[in-house]
Chains A and B, each alone.
Chain A
């Protein structure tokens, strides 16, 4: 599922995966949205439109999009290791105190 997209020279993000039609402009993004996006990136198939200055004309959006894109790209490229690592958090303890 796509969570970051470029359209009409502006960047958008998906606030809620249950409302896939409801896109919000990137300059409106708040910390809670970012938290939620991080959850999606951890738990879901997380896709983004590639950063492209030609299709993303808005200068401010360019900066925000590029920055977020790079950060999520970095996060996703280590997703397997991150998942292995977090799956093991308190695993034995959870079994012990079940």
Chain B
């Protein structure tokens, strides 16, 4: 079995953040993680001299490689450790073609540089960003049989699913000075020799690729000091200050996309804070519900009824004045065009829709038989022709009208410039009336919106979260909504007159795009299984269930002493069940002192941490193994009795356990 890491960075490139390579760190990494083979894969470059130095200094097999930006994704190209000058030349050509971090080469350029691709091992970013596009993978064809993934879950999925590539996990690490925790992302291959061909042969076969040396894909190395964990459910136990949280922190640092539920973090004593939290979690529901209303508000916000009224008033005033001045018209105002109105152009949207709908009917093949039953094809053809003729006629007329309007305007301006008679101000009846009706509909809409109703209901493990629309009942609520020191009292006085209210919101100092939030509030209520509002304890319970549920979007779940905030019945029932469920998908690690969790959850793996103080020197020890094993073992082979540990950590020792069982509980039994 060989342990490999074929994705290591040693040179800062244009695609990297600044870093200084440390050969010592690389040596330590290789030794501490017991690696058998590594590949040096820098972004779009190969530094031969540095590679040769690394090769000289390390006692394991080192492969030269390069991580290439290929058609927008990343791919590792690894060569056998020979013909280094030729490999260097080729990599230099890649480097020349990728002058900035946004550049990449295409498939043809890759083939031109590396014509015999089958001489190399190609590993694309597969379930890892930026991944190689499926189209590029197709082009690379049989040269691709293995792909890099980022998590244990993705690794296991690729192993299970037939049509997926053979997965590999690598560190993708920059070897710098002073690394405290070395990554544990490596892959084991069931291969005898460390040649590129042998490794390639192994990667063709999914059954020869593993997460652990001896336990297949059900275990993985969690920390660089050798702690092995199950890819399912793990329980970490140990006395106070024995390094449990330290271990959890270390694991958290080593992996990406981790859900870490820290001790006491979920206690929810404050009702208002809890409400805010639930509201934020469900903000998508609020947003989706009010999405269309937001557009309406934006549209109505453009309407200025006041200015429409003024326009109408000016029109009437000038019309009457002009009528009175009728006897004294001058040469200019006597001209008919002096007060000529503009032609209104026809809106062609409806006829365009009709043409498009008829076209859909004509072109549809899926439901042709049904359409043919009711309308003949000839009828539809005639219809579309007539509609198009009508459309063109209206369109031509519109062009003519626009042209005439332009001429009228020009002449009117000329006449009015020279005349002293009042000119009748223009007015657009259609626009004024349309906008008035729009505002009326808006007001009906807002009235409907304000009627209290449940818009969403979600059941979450015995709890129910209800989203309900609710009217604002005071300016302070609006202010709270804005989370700013703004004065809403004047605006709120108009709350029952939606359009007026909208206009007054314009003076409050909030963004126009936010106006829609101030018409109706969405209130979230969390109910317990009896249908009552949750209590303080239940709020915390709900939080824990929500967080564990949410862990499914992550690659690893860590929970630190849940019993510190929750009672046993709840833990044994809901929590244990949910943790078991989640652990079928991702590795779960629970730190606990509680027998309810530690004892009843039936973990797949148990880890025991212990602090030893010897002559003032503190040492931490970690033992692990199967929960039913008689002994747990440390990395260096020290054994410890599992039975003693469980009783000490979960039951306060054997004596206390027997005493509790026989003297306390048994006596109370009927």
* Interface residues in chain A, defined as those with a beta carbon under 8 Å from any beta carbon in chain B: 27, 29-31, 34-35, 38-39, 41-42, 59-64, 67-68, 70-72, 74-75, 78, 81-82, 84-86, 89-90, 92-94, 96-98
CB closest chain-B residue, reference A29: B316
Secondary structure of the B side of the interface?
A: helix
A89 lies within 8 A of B441 (CB): yes
B53 CB within 8 Å of chain A: no
CB closest chain-B residue, reference A75: B429
Known: A42-B433, A60-B324. 13 other contacts (CB 8 A): A35-B436, A38-B429, A61-B323, A62-B326, A63-B319, A64-B319, A67-B424, A71-B429, A78-B344, A81-B350, A89-B438, A90-B445, A94-B441
Bound complex: CA A29 to CA B315 (Å): 11
B326 lies within 8 A of A31 (CB): no
Bound complex: CA A96 to CA B324 (Å): 52
B350 lies within 8 A of A93 (CB): no
Residues on B with beta carbons closer than 8 Å to the beta carbon of A41: 433
Across chains A and B, which 4 residue pairs bring their CB atoms closest together, nearest first? A60-B323, A63-B323, A31-B313, A31-B312
B390 CB within 8 Å of chain A: no
Interface string of B311-331 (1 = CB under 8 A from A): 011001001101110110000
Within 8 A of A (CB), among B407-447: 424, 427, 429-430, 432-434, 436-438, 441-442, 444-445
A67 lies within 8 A of B339 (CB): yes
Bound complex: CA A27 to CA B317 (Å): 10
Bound complex: CA A59 to CA B322 (Å): 11
A61 to chain B, nearest CB (A): 7
B448 CB within 8 Å of chain A: yes
B445 lies within 8 A of A30 (CB): no
A93 lies within 8 A of B292 (CB): yes
Knowing A31-B313, A67-B424, A85-B347 are in contact, say whether A93-B323 is a contact too (CB < 8 A).
no
Residues on A with beta carbons closer than 8 Å to the beta carbon of B309: 31, 35
A27 lies within 8 A of B350 (CB): no
B594 CB within 8 Å of chain A: no
Bound complex: CA A98 to CA B292 (Å): 13
A26 to chain B, nearest CB (A): 9
Bound complex: CA A30 to CA B350 (Å): 35
A60 lies within 8 A of B326 (CB): yes
A-B contact pairs, 24 of them (CB 8 A): A29-B320, A30-B316, A31-B312, A31-B313, A59-B327, A61-B323, A62-B323, A62-B326, A63-B319, A63-B326, A67-B339, A71-B341, A75-B430, A78-B344, A78-B346, A81-B346, A86-B433, A86-B438, A90-B438, A90-B445, A93-B296, A93-B445, A94-B444, A97-B293
Question: What bracket does the count of chain B residues touching chain A fall in?
Answer: 35 or more
B449 CB within 8 Å of chain A: yes
Residues on A with beta carbons closer than 8 Å to the beta carbon of B424: 67
Residues on B with beta carbons closer than 8 Å to the beta carbon of A78: 344, 346, 430
Residues on A with beta carbons closer than 8 Å to the beta carbon of B347: 81, 85
Residues on B with beta carbons closer than 8 Å to the beta carbon of A92: 292
Other-chain contact of B320, A64, A93, A98 (Cβ < 8 Å): A64
B316 lies within 8 A of A31 (CB): yes
Knowing A27-B320, A86-B437 are in contact, say whether A96-B292 is a contact too (CB < 8 A).
yes
Residues on A with beta carbons closer than 8 Å to the beta carbon of B442: 90
CB closest chain-B residue, reference A34: B312
Knowing A59-B327, A60-B324, A78-B344 are in contact, say whether A94-B429 is a contact too (CB < 8 A).
no
